[in-house]
Chains A and B, each alone.
Chain A
Amino acid sequence: MNMDPLPALEESLRQSQQIIYTILDAIPVRVFWKDRDLKYLGCNRPFAQDAGFNEPKELIGRDDYGMGWREQAEIYRADDLSVIASGKAKMMIEEPQKTPDGRIIWLLTSKVPLRDATGGISGVLGTYMDITEYRNAKESIRESEEKYRAFFATSKDCVFITSKDGRFVDFNDETPAFFGYRDREEFWAVNIGDLYSNASERQEHIRAIEQSGFVKEYPVDLRKKDGSIIHVLVTSIARKDISGKVIGFQGTIKNITEQRRAEEALRESEERFRGITERISDLIFIVDPEGYLTFVSPSVISILGFPPESYIGKRAGPDITHAEDIVNIEKAVERLKNGSLEEQIEFQMPKSDGSYAVFDGTGTPVFTHGMYAGVQVVARDITERKRAEVALTQSEERYRTLSEASPDQIFIIGRDDIMKYANTAALKLFRLPFDQVIGRPRKYLFPPEIAKSQDASLQKAFETGERVRSEERIKFGEQEFWIDINQVPLKDKAGHVTSVLGIARDITDRKRAEEALKESNERYLSYIKEAAMRLKTPVEVVEHNITTLIKDINAGDIDNNQVLLLLQIQVKNMEQIRQNILDLNKTIVDRYGEMSPASKQFLTE
C-alpha cells in the first residue's frame, strides 16, 4: 500500500483545478490572466471563444495583438501595465471591444494584480462581462426617462401622478398655473377630488379607469382656484402595486375650454351662416375641390325655381350654368386653386321657366387645415339690372344715334366747365375733331362773348336744377345767326346736378321768317288800317254829304246846279273809293294771294 501522500495531494489538486475550470467555464463572466509581459497564461472557455479560439490553451503565450480585439490592444495593455505597476486593482471598468466578427460590444472589466509566493506582482488577472445588452437597455431607459422628463417639464397640459385618495404624488410645473394656483407649494395642498366641479364625476371617472385600466380623453369639468369652470380631457391609467391593486392614477389633463369655445363659436357661426343663407336673397354655393356642389343656399328656389338639393353633387360649371360661361368658370376656379384670393365672374343659370338668370358671383377659396378645400361662391341675381343695362345701352345708343343725326348742336358741360360730350353738329360748329373738344374747357371752345353770355344761364341751370331756355343772336367766326339754347340740368341719383345738357338749334331761318312775318303783318295791318281810313271814313263822309244834300233839297235850300255839283262830287268820291278798294285789293293779292286769275280779276278790276 502506497502511503505516499503526494499523489493523493496531486490528485486532490487536479480535482480542485478541474472543479475551478469547470466553474470558470460555466460562469458567464470571462476570466483571463497574464504574466508581467502581458502574455496570456490562461483563461476560461467563454473568454477563449470571445477571442475566436476553441480551447483556452490555444491562447497561452499569446498577447492582445494576436486577438480579435487587436485594435483595442493598446487600451487593454495600458490598463494591465497600470495594475501591475501600481499593484492596485481596477474594478468595474466599462470599455468597448471589437469582436472577431467586427461588432462592438461593451465590457464591464475588472483587473487585479497577481502575486507570487513572495508577494511580488507576477502578472494580472482580469474578468469581464458583456454588458452590451444591459448598457443598451440602460441607454433606452435613460432616453425614455429623458423624454418623459422633457414631456413632464415642457408639456402645456397638466401631467400628474396621484394616489387613489386624490393626493398629488407628482405633477409638472405647468399644473399649478393650469388650475390658477400661484406655485407648486400652494398646489401641493390640493386634493384632485376638490378640482372636480361635480364630486360624483370623480367617482364615475375612477370607475371608468378601473374597468379598463385606463381612459383616453375622458371629458370632465374641473374648477380652477378662482371658481371658474374649465373643460378638460383626462387621459390616465391606474397605478398598481405588485399585487395588481390600484394605488393611484397618472396621466395628463388637457384644457379644451378654448377649443370648446371655439367649437361653440363655430357652431354659432355655422348657425348664423345657415340662418343667413336661408334668409339671404343672394345665392351661395360651396364647391368641393373636385368641382362638385356640396351646398346651395335655400334662396335658389325663389330665384331659379329649383330646390337646393337638386344641385347637390352636380358639377359647378357644366351641369348648372350656361354653356358659354363654362370656360370662364373653370378658369376662375383654376386661379382660385392657384392662390387667387377672389374671383369675380358673371354667369347665367337656367330657371324653371326655361329662361336664364344672370348672376354676378364672387368666388373665394376655402381652406381646411391649410389645404385647398374648394370654393365658396356668393352670387347676386342681376338679371333685372342686366336687362336695365341692356335697355339703357340700347336707349343710349338710340339717343346717341339721334344726337349724332340731329342738326342741333348737342353738348354736355360738367360742373368743372369741361366739355364732356359734343355731337357731330357741335363739332362742325367748333371746327374741331372730337378728341380736341372733349375734355377741354368750354371757354376755350366758344368765342369769349358767347362763353360769357352762357355763364349766367349755365350757373342758373346748375343752381336751380331747372332747364333754362333762351334765344340769342350770336356771331361764331364769320357767321352770325340766331340760336335757341335749351340747357337741361343732368342729375345724379341723389338729385345733384352734375352737368348740363345743352341743345342749341340754329333758328336763323325761323327768326328771319318771323321777322318777315312780323314785317308782313305790320304791313298788312297798316293796309287794313289804311283801308279802314280810306274806305270807312270816306264812305261815312259821302253818306253824310248825301244825307245833308237830301235835307237841303227837301228844305228847298239849294238850287239844281248846286245839287248837281254836289252829286257829281259824291260820284267822284265814290269812284275814287272804288278805285281805292281795287288798289288795296291789288296790293294784297299781289303780296299774299294765291287765287284763280278770275278771282284776281274780280278783286282788282
Chain B
Amino acid sequence: MKEHELYLIMSSPTEIRNKNIEVIEKVLSEDYTILVITTNQPYDILKKNYEKNGILLDRIYFVDTVTKYAMGRDHQPAKNCRFINNPANLTDIGIAVTEILKDLEGKKVCLVFDSVSSMLIYISSQNITKFIHFVTNKLRLLHSAGFFLVVEKGLDPDVLVQLTTFVDAVVDVDKTP
C-alpha cells in the first residue's frame, strides 16, 4: 500500500467480510485513521467483528447507512459513528463524509467503502459512479487514501472500467497471494 493512493478491492461474496477486516488491519498498521462507509454490515455488527479480531476502534469512524433504515428508528448515538436514514441518501452520506474528513484534517486518513456491490441495491450504477467520483476527488484533495470494496464479477465491466479510472490500482484479492 502506497501513501495517498486509492484502491479498488475485488473479492468473492464469501470472502468480502474477511477482506474488510484484513483491509482495516492493514490500513491501521500503516497508521491511518479509517473512515468506514458501510452499506451492508450495520455498525454494531462491524464493531463486534472488529473487536472480535482484536481491532481497536479508536482510529475508526463509521458512516452507517443501513442500521437506521433497517430498524426504522434512530440508533443510540455512537461517538464514532454517524447513522444515515437511508442507503440511497447520497446527499447525507456525502455531507457525513465531508464533515468527518474535515474533523480528521491533519490526520493520515483512509476511507474504506464496504461495499459498492451492496450499495447497488439502493442506488443506480450511474449514481454510484458519480458518488465514487465525488468521494475519490475529495480524498485526492485531502491527500487521503481509500479502499473501495466490490464483489468480484458483481459490476458491469463498463461500470468497472469507469471506476478503475478513479483509482490508482485494482486489486483482485482472490488472485493476490
Contacts and interface: CB of A to CB of B under 8 A. Distances in A.
A-B interaction: yes
Interface of A: 529-530, 532-534, 536-538, 540-545, 547-548, 557-558, 562, 565-566, 568-569, 571-573, 576-577, 580
Contacts, number: 80
Given A571-B70, A576-B121, 18 more contacts: A529-B158, A534-B120, A534-B121, A534-B125, A537-B120, A540-B151, A540-B154, A544-B13, A548-B17, A558-B48, A562-B48, A565-B42, A565-B44, A566-B45, A569-B40, A569-B70, A572-B69, A573-B118
B58 interface: no
Given A532-B156, A572-B69, A562 B120 contact: no
Contacts of A557: 52
Q: Which one of A532, A542, A572 has the greatest number of beta carbons of chain B within 10 Å? A: A572
Contacts of A580: 121
Contacts of A572: 66, 69-70
A573 B117 CA distance: 12
Contacts of A530: 124-125, 156
A34 B14 CA distance: 190
Interface of B: 13-14, 16-17, 40, 42, 44-45, 48, 52, 66-67, 69-72, 115, 117-118, 120-122, 124-125, 151, 154-156, 158-159
Contacts of A537: 117, 120, 151, 154-155
8 contacts: A529-B125, A530-B124, A540-B117, A541-B40, A541-B151, A562-B45, A566-B45, A569-B67
A557 B13 CA distance: 20
A533 B42 contact: no
Nearest to B122: A576
Contacts of B151: 537, 540-541
B116 to A, nearest CB: 9
A128 to B, nearest CB: 157
A538 B156 contact: no
A529 B155 CA distance: 9
Nearest to B12: A544
A571 B115 CA distance: 18
A534 B154 contact: no
A538 B42 contact: no
A566 B120 contact: no
Nearest to B124: A530
A557 B70 CA distance: 21
Contacts of B69: 569, 572
Nearest to B72: A568
B118 A533 contact: no
A547 B17 CA distance: 12
Contact of B16 (A534, A544, A569, A576): A544
B117 A566 contact: no
A572 B86 CA distance: 11
Contact of A569 (B14, B17, B66, B158): B66
B125 A562 contact: no
Contact of A538 (B48, B121, B158): B121
A565 B40 contact: no
A577 B45 contact: no
B44 A529 contact: no
B40 A533 contact: no
A288 to B, nearest CB: 98
Please provide the 10 A-B residue pairs with the shortest distance between their CB atoms, ordered closest to farther: A537-B154, A538-B121, A569-B70, A568-B70, A544-B13, A529-B156, A541-B118, A537-B117, A576-B121, A572-B70
A544 B14 contact: yes
Contacts of A541: 13, 40, 115, 117-118, 121, 151, 154
A562 B46 CA distance: 11
